Structure formats: structure tokens, C-alpha cells
Structure 1
Amino acid sequence: MNELTEKIVFIENDKIVTNSKQVAESFGKQHKDVLENIDNLMAENSAVKMFKETSYESRGRKFRMYLMNRDRFSLLAMGFTGKHALEFKLKYIEAFNQLEQFYNSPDMIIKRAMELQAQKIIKLETENKELKPKALFADSVSTSKTSILVGDMAKIIKSNGIDMGANRFFTWLRDNGYLIKRKGSDWNMPTQNSMNLDLFEIKETIINKPDGHVQISKTPKITGKGQIYFINKFLGA
């Protein structure tokens, strides 16, 4: 990650986000105008709930601010124009992509799992409670809200001694009824049974095309519960 990425996007409550104040600064706008844009977006469409209202403190006073993920940033920034608007739109999308790739890498997932487990051990020792043995990865992920790509799950399985790659894992998921096998727009999307078991979630990404129209890309991601499920499937935990 570079310095720009770390400045304009960040991780809060296990989510990769930016905020309205940072967006206003980057695009050379008044923060009150960006807040008004977001208010109008939510007023026009009650389904737009991914702008999370929060606040920041300055000179002893609290002021309104919104947090937003990559998709909601894209929705907001569609209306921004000006000499450098396109340049900053691309920089933000790149920053989101870089931080997501870094944060959801197998090494970082395992690192967060180990850190969470260490915190649990310290808490239990302080309370003089006996720590019951559990699988480190499964125990940590069970309380995590982080979902990962199918390819990253394949890397974790492979790091545990199972010969598995992304393509082979996709094939296994289709053959075993976890992903839709028939060719078409729903190919490689989770089956209804997989969704009922809470093994997957579907990430929707807004893509702004050069001709002005908006395309929504759908990507299956494995939930924390799904990660435990497939680890147990392959390792017999």
C-alpha cells in the first residue's frame, strides 16, 4: 500500500471505508455540500443505507460526517465534475481495491485470527477462566465479519497441505452444490442452499462505464461461517 491509499481509505469496524470529510477535501468541495449531496441521495432512494452517519470533533465541538464503502463512494462521486474529478475518482477506486486486496489476503486473515485469539486468552486469564481448546482459525473467524474471495479460501486450504487452487475449488464448489453449475448469468453464484446456510454473501460493485451507463458486477464471497465450514470439510476439524 502507498501513502495515498492509507490516507483516503481506511478500516473501521472491520470494513474498508472513506468519509465525507476526506472526500470533500480531495475533490476541493465544501464538506457541507458533500453532506447535502448524500442527504439528497438517501432522500431520493430509501434503499441507500450504506452511508453511515457519524461525527468528528473539532475545537471542542462535534460535527456531522458520513462513512461510506466503495460502492456508495462511486454512487456519490458519479455527480462530481471538474478538472481533476476523474483523476480523484480513479485514485479512490484504486485505493479501495489495494486496501481490500491487502486486508483480505490469506496472511492478513491468519494474522487477525491470531491477534484475536491472543486477546481472548488474555481476557480469560484475567478472569481466571479455563480456556477450552479450539482450532485457532475456526475460533477467530467465528467472531469475524470479514468475508473473503473464493480464490483466497483456496489459498488458505492449500496452505494447510491440501492441493487446491482457485479454479479447482470453484469446480469443487459447483460439483458439490455450493455454487450454481448451469451456464448463464447466475453461473458461479451461490445456490439457495448455500445462502440459507450463510456460507456465502454476494458483493455488488458499481462500475462506471466510459459511455456513462452503470454496470453492477456480482462476486461471491465466503462468510466467516463459510470459512469455518470449508476448513472443517477439507481438514476434518
Structure 2
Amino acid sequence: MTHLVFIQKGQAITDSLTVAQEFGKEHKNVLRDIEIQLLKLVEAGEQGWGVLNFERTHYKNEQNGQWYPKFDMTEDAFAIVAMSYTTPEAMKMKVKFLAEFKRMRQQLQAAAVDTSQLSPILQLLIQQEQQQQAIIQRQDATDKRVAVIQETILQRDDDWRDKLNGMLNGAARRSGGLFRDLRSRSYEMLESRARCDLNRRLRNLRDRLQETGATKTKIAEANRLDVIEADPKLKEIYTTIIKELSIGTLS
């Protein structure tokens, strides 16, 4: 078995690759599960907790030399993601992960240096170093928090958008109408079917982006598709609407 938990920056963590391998899941599905939990944390106003416990990073595929995204996770983050894995095999694996987290915590505690017997000067130097590291870590956490909020708010699934635009373009050609008119109609159908106000949600989205320090350009570029994509329910309904509009022009 591979190492389930490892120490990084003085903390016991695991990552999405390890979770995918040990739970027998595709890595892309584990990434999706994590993104869903991050979105729920944002909706609950707990995005700061998400920043501190989930770290977006990358790994290099040794076969093709390409870099791909992954997440590093604390024990608490792992517990949230693994909560939905409920098969007997998954339960056994969760127990193994949690036991390994406990072992790593004990290892870190045992490795802690007792500075009480050092000279006052050395103790002062160590204390100053620890304070400096704490400042750096707080700044890193703040930067990550802003980045995660903006990335979560403005999710982009380019394949999904390309497919929808392709279907709308085809429907517009077949019906002899204009693409922008069909797009407007699709938004109206979504608002009626999902009982939502896209313009109001777009204003809220831009307000949240402004609060996180996004640039004026990024705020101005936010659109109703960003609103739809950020809400899994709206995304599903809107996809169905576009398919209906496309099929309707085939007859």
C-alpha cells in the first residue's frame, strides 16, 4: 500500500490522487467531489475554512510530462470528502486513513523540540522565527482564500459552454433566427422553469467579486453563464433547455 498520509510544512495531509487510488475512483471524480464540497462551503459562508484545509496544487504525470491539478487535504478536509463514500470497502479505507492521520500527528508531536532548556537568547531567536513564520502563513492563507473564492465563484467548464454554443448556433441556423435571440429566449425559459432572477444573481456575483478584490475587467466580464455554471441545479436545467431548443428546430 502507498503512504496514505504524509507530512508537509509540519502538517499531516493526504491528497486527491491518494484518495482516488485507495478508494478505487477516477481522479477526475474525486476532484469533482472536492469542488462540490468547496462550493457548499462558499454557500455556507465557510470559504475561509476551505482555504485552510484544501490546497489547490499540481502534479506531473511521469508518462507524458504534463502537469495536472490535484488537491492537498488536511484530516478534516479528507473527512468531509470521504463522508459520502459509504460502501463497506470505503468504510474500511476511511478507518485506515484516519488511523494513519493519528499516527502522523503522534509522530509530529514526538518530534517537537523542547526549548525550555535552551539559553534565553536561543529561546528568543526561536520565538521570533516562529512569529515570522506565523505571519507568512497568515498572509498565504489570505491570498489562498481570495484565490479560492474567485475561482469557485467563476467556474468555467469550457467544454460544456462550447457544446451549448454549438447547439444554439445549429438551432439558430435551422430556424433562420439569430443566436442572441435564441440565447435570450433560453435565459427566459430558465428563469421561468427554475423560478430565479438571473440579473439579480449576476449583480450579487459581481458584488462578491468586488469584495474579494477582483479587477474591474474580471467583474465586468462576469455574465449569466457564470451564474448558471456556479449553481449545479441551474446548470442541469439550462443544459436540458438548450437540448430542447436544439431538438425543436430539427422537426
TM-score (norm 2): 0.44
TM-score (norm 1): 0.46
Which structure dedicates a bigger proportion of its chain to strand?
1
Higher CA-based Rg: 2
